[in-house]
Each structure stands twice: as structure tokens, then as C-alpha cells.
A and B are shown apart, each in its own frame.
Chain A
Amino acid sequence: MSVRQLWEGAEGDNVIMHLDGRSKLFVLFSIAILAITIDNPRTLFLLFSGTLLLHFAARTSIYKWQVMAVLLLLGLWGSMVSQALFFAQTPRTPIFMLISPDFPILGPLTNGLFIYQEGILYGAIQGLRASIMLSMGLLICWNSDPRQLLKALMAWHLSPQVAFMLVTALRFLPVLAAEASEVITALRLRSNSKVGRQSICRHLPYVVNPLLARCLRRAQTLALSVVSRGFFLAENRKKVVWPMKEFSSCLVLALVVLVTVGSKVAYLASEQGLYVGFLRYLYDWTKLYL
């Protein structure tokens, strides 16, 4: 699989691919709000597992799974390990000592280095938030034609210029990755060096100029084609109907998000003194599950 194929939406036949662009974007925004709002570790874990299940539903290829696994692992373990070592809130319970405070030089410098129980969980929560967004982002990226997203943004009355710039930016990343790969291959062939990390590192300083030149050339072509096709002309575009099933599902999801955010706000207000007795069960539910 080429670098470009890896990051671009592929042609395929699955449930996610057939969804309307608006539905995809709406689900993405909703999950983003939920990931930020929810603090309960088990609920966040379930949300994360749900996004992975969506990848199974979309029949994501094994190669893409491998790439996603590396990215998810980096985020999750990076967050957990760093928080476990440098957790600064209280209470914090050291469960393992890496450097004793009495250890020569390093001990007095660091006051001891410990793994904190609460830090692991705190790191897991932060890592899960990032992973949910990464997983959902890749799902939409891999299962959407950029034109679908552009139509969705236009249907929501976003200015054509802004919508176009957003989608172009989205498409530009895989193009950039492919261009960089091509430039490195060309440099490697010219210098007759072997394949490997060493040769990539050696050629990296010389990648910028040719890459910039190629990008400018592409941008010029893109600008000419946009103008020649009259993309920004203020004419009425054909309205695409949002399928009823998808629309009602999105309404249900919106309700879930509203209830979640609302109960969280009510709970936080109760902590600040705005306590209402008959909302007690909502407070309990929020504390236990959100």
C-alpha cells in the first residue's frame, strides 16, 4: 500500500462509506464532545472500544489497523507513563520506587522517582480521550471521499471558500506525505544509497526545497482548475436530502450529548452550591457513570 493510499479515503463498499457526509461529521463532533465531557474511566473505555468496533464494521484493512495500532499505543502509553512518573496532584500513592531519595546524586536531585497509582489512571483517562479522537478521525478519513465532506459542509451553509479550504487541507496531508516519499526516493536513487532509516535521515535536510516547489506547482494547478470550473459562483446548488434514517439517528445522538452535557453541568453547579434535591438521582448517575 502506498503512502498516499494509506492516508486517503479508499473506494470501498461498507456501511460507513455509504453514510451521508453530514452524518459522519455530526457523529465525529458528537463523539468529540462526549470525549471531553466524560471523566469516568470505564465510560471513556467503553467509548474507545465503540470506536474500535466501528473500524471492524468499516472492514479497515490489516495494514491500516497496524498503523493505527502504533499511533494509539504511542498516545496511550506515552500519557500513562508520563503521568505515572510525574503526577503532581493529591492524593498520590507511590506503588513502585525507581530512584530512592537516598540514591547518590540522582536521589537528592529528583527527591526520588516513583510510579504513582493515581497517575496511571489519570494518564489512561487523558490517553483514552486522545485515542477516541484519533480512532474516530481515522475512521472518517479512511471511509470518506473528500467530496462527501465538502458537500456536507456546503449543505450546512458554510461559505464555499471556507469549506473548500477545509477539505483541501484535509486532502493536502496525504498528498504531502506521498510527495515527500517520492522526493526521498529520488534523492536516494541519485546518491545510490541503500534503503533504510539511515539514508532517510541523511536526505532529510535536502527534502524541503523540492517539496516546496512541488507544492507550489500543485497549488497553482488547483487554483486554475477552481477558477475554470466556476466553483465559487453564487448560483443555487442542488440540495441533497439528508436520509431520514440517518437524520433521526443523529437526532438521538444529539439528545444523548445534550443529556450528558446537561447532567454534567448540573452536577458541577451542585458542587458550587446550586443544589436541587429532586435532581439527586441525576447527580448520582453523573457521579457514577460520567
Chain B
Amino acid sequence: MKIVKGGIALVVLFFTWCFLFWITGDRTPWQFFSHKNTEGVEVYLGDIPIQNYDRMGFTRGVVRYVAKNNSWIVGTERGELFCFDGKGKQVWKRSLGIGKLVTIALSKKEDLVYVGEQSPTGQLFAVDSNTGDMVWKYAAKALVGADPGSRSYPSVVHIAVDNEDNVYITAYRYLLNQDGSRGYNGKICSFSKDGAVNWQFPEKEVMDTWVNWCDVSNSAGEVVVATSAYETRPGMKYPKTMYFLNMKTGKLRHSLSLPVVVPFENTVMRGSPNYSSDGKYLAGSSSDGRAFFLNSGGEVLWTRELSLPQKVEGAWLNASGRDGFVVPEGVVFTTINTFNRENWQLPTPVLHPGNNSLFLFDFMGNFKYKYKADGTMEEIAFAKGIVACAIGRNVRTHDYKLAHGAILIKLSDGSLLKRFPTEGPVQAIDISQDGKHIGGIEAPAVTPEGKVIGAYRFHIWQYE
């Protein structure tokens, strides 16, 4: 009997050895248990605090495709910058500190990657895209100050690069005054490719408004800056919607105030405007759900209503406009989830019909089509004839299974070309110029039922 028992132990040890060989290798047995879609490549980006699904400020990440060597630069909330090759193998990785990486841009030759972070110093990093070596860095704390004690961190929120590889950033810091009122410190700064400061706007003070976006037009020699302060205060020095600066000197050329719609106090733009590739036109959408098409002189050519605020059962509902892009097929705008204007966390009785959508207008302002997604349009990126959309959360329907993922839409007619579903919401996306390679960052979330869905991971998908 002892011999039999010992024999069984040896046999079990042999099978355990085989099992360990199996699970420690690449061909893991998980597919036998799960029904997860395994299309494409997944790379885990590390542990991060998992946010509540309904939270306004949600987990982010940044991604850019590098065409010269078919690689991906990925920045995370952990302050880590990765370079992955086309198959998802890590080429290099570097930790940039304790901040969250919130914005990214590539130089024209794709030899440098510029990364902006939110941290107690709010650095702008210029990193060699081939090796991951730091080339230079600049602390936005010098521009907008910092007050880590009250968690008022400076942040480089957006980066634009011109044809001569000069870099333009918007830096911003949120202030909570002792009397409970809110304030903002904002500044625009231009750098040469080697990190020398070209100019700052304003030169000797900070903008008393929230600046979230900027873009540069080489042909017009101009930088446009959009503001995002929802409230205006008496005596506010920079209350206008857009400021147009000379890209060489940083001097203010002119500014523009867009008309306000009820119930908003101010017209704000948080994810636009952007110039057309020839620099002659400008497209942007505002948080009150309007779309604007302007020329580089700052003249509004036409305005369209995407998702204007509506009063339903005493509550103002709106779906904020986010993006504005000019592409050969027309002018593209997007909107996000439906929100209650009173408090963004409060429920809404109905969904706004214009929410979570992508709109295309021709250059005369004629409506071409609308594509409505199941979740918010977190980011869009363009390839030849295709737009790739990162589809994030839908905090109203809590549709976890259908909404999340990445989609490819044919720009000419708005038809869905391909959908890449993910478990968690996709928060950032980029696509190669030929439209064949798509990279997206998925974030984890805790649902109101307490279940964790998704993970912080980078996906690479192939199309055709």
C-alpha cells in the first residue's frame, strides 16, 4: 500500500511539473476558461489605483505611433514611458518620475518625443525616441507655480509642434483660494528643439483662466490658445474664448469671444481647436455642444449645434463637444456622455440625442452624417480615409459589454469598418497613416456593483 501511495505522489509530481511547464510558458491555458476576445496584442502597463466607473476625472494614458520604425510610444499614469515594437515587444522603458503623463507629441522627424506630466513640478520632457534617453526637460512650476501642500500641481496639458520643431505648450494649475473660490494660473510657452525658451505668454504674469489647448499654424505664423474657465469673475483679465499669438514672438495678435448659451456662463473649449494641415482653417467644439469653423484670421465662418443643452424635468442636460478637426473629407467634431449641468455626478432622466457621437460637415457647413457610439469618444486619430475612435465609458447606461473598445469609421460615409472590443474603457488611441496599425490604452474601472473590469494595458490591433 505504501508503495502505491508513493507511486501516486511521483505521478502527481510529474503531472505538476508538466502543468508548471504549461502555465509558465507563452501558451497559457487561460483560453480554455475565458471567453475574452484575444484579437491583437496586449501589453500590461503596471498597477494603478482603480477608479470608480462614474468618476469624472478618470484614468488616462497617452500613445503615439512612430512611423519610421513601426513602433509605439506609450505614456502612463505611473509616470512611465514605453516604446513597443509592432508586435508589442518592449524596445525601451523609462521612468520619468512620480507624475502622471498627460500629453504627448512627436517631433517632425520622429526623433524626439515630447511628454507633459502633472506632478509637483509639472515637467515637460524631451526624450530620444530611439533609445529613451532624456534630451532635455523643463519644469512648468517655473511658469505657473506650485502648491503641493494643497495638492495644486502644475501640469503641461497640451503640446503642439511646428514644422521647424519648435514646441508650444499650455501649462496650467488649479487654485482653491482661502475663501473657497476657484482660480487658475495658465501660461503658454514656446521652446526651440534643444529646449531653450523662445517666449512666454503672458510674458510677465499668468493668465487668470484655465488653458487646456493650443495648436500652431505654420502658414499663418500663429498659435491659437483656447480657454476652459466655466465661470467668469469680475475683473478677470483673460475672459475670452480664444487668443491668437504670433508663433515667433508670442505677442498677442487678436482674441475672440464666442457668444454664450444658457445655462453656461462662458464658452469654453477643452479639446480643440485644431488647424487644418494647410493652416488656413480652424475647427473646434465647445463644452455647450456647439461646433465652430473659423479661418486663421479668427473669423467664424459657420457655427453648428451638435448637442445644445436641453431642460428636461427641471434639469439642464448637455453632452459636451470635445474635438474639432479639419480633414480632406470635411470637418469632424465629437461629443461625450450626457451630463447634468447642475452637478456632473447627478443622474439624468434621459440621454441627450447628440451624445457620444462623431459628426462630419462639409467645408460649407452642410451636415454629412453622425456616427453614434455606445460610449464616450475619448480620443480620435486619423489615417487615410479612416478615423479611429477610442470608446470609453458610458456613465449613464453602464453598458460594459458593448460600449468599450476601439472602432474604425470610414470618413467618407460614416460606416463602421471594424470594432475591437475591450473589457475596460479605451482612453487613448492612435493609428498609422496607412490605417493598418491601431494602438489603444485600456483602463480598469470599479463598477457601481463593486466589480473590477478591464486592466491598465496597451493594445495593438491590425486592420486588413
Contacts and interface: CB of A to CB of B under 8 A. Distances in A.
Interface of A: 41-42, 44-45, 48-49, 52, 62-63, 65-66, 69-70, 72-73, 76-77, 89-93, 95-96, 111, 117, 120-121, 124, 128, 270-273, 275-278, 280, 283-284, 287
B9 A280 contact: no
A90 B50 contact: yes
7 contacts: A44-B24, A73-B12, A90-B50, A117-B30, A270-B95, A275-B95, A277-B92
A26 B165 CA distance: 57
Contact of A95 (B10, B30, B47, B133): B30
Nearest to B423: A93
A73 B132 contact: no
Given A270-B95, A273-B97, A65 B23 contact: no
Contacts of A76: 16, 20
A93 B30 contact: yes
Interface in B21-44: 21, 23-25, 28, 30, 33-34, 36, 44
Contacts of B168: none
Nearest to A52: B17
Nearest to B30: A117
Interface residues of B, number: 43
A89 B47 contact: yes
B33 A95 contact: yes
Contacts of A270: 93-95
Contacts of A95: 30, 33-34
B458 to A, nearest CB: 13
B131 A277 contact: yes
B23 A41 contact: yes
Contacts, number: 103
A84 to B, nearest CB: 11
A45 B30 contact: no
Contacts of B94: 270, 273, 275
A95 B23 CA distance: 14
Interface string B93-117: 1111100000000000000000000
A88 to B, nearest CB: 11
Given A69-B12, A277-B132, A280-B131, A42 B6 contact: no
B23 A121 contact: yes
Contact of B9 (A42, A70, A276, A287): A70
A283 B92 contact: yes
A91 B94 CA distance: 22
Closest 9 CB pairs of A and B: A91-B455, A66-B6, A277-B131, A41-B24, A95-B33, A277-B133, A69-B13, A69-B9, A275-B94
B24 A287 contact: no
B9 A66 contact: yes
Contacts of B455: 90-91, 93
B33 A69 contact: no
A256 B132 CA distance: 27
B415 interface: no
B95 A271 contact: yes
B128 interface: yes
A120 B47 contact: no
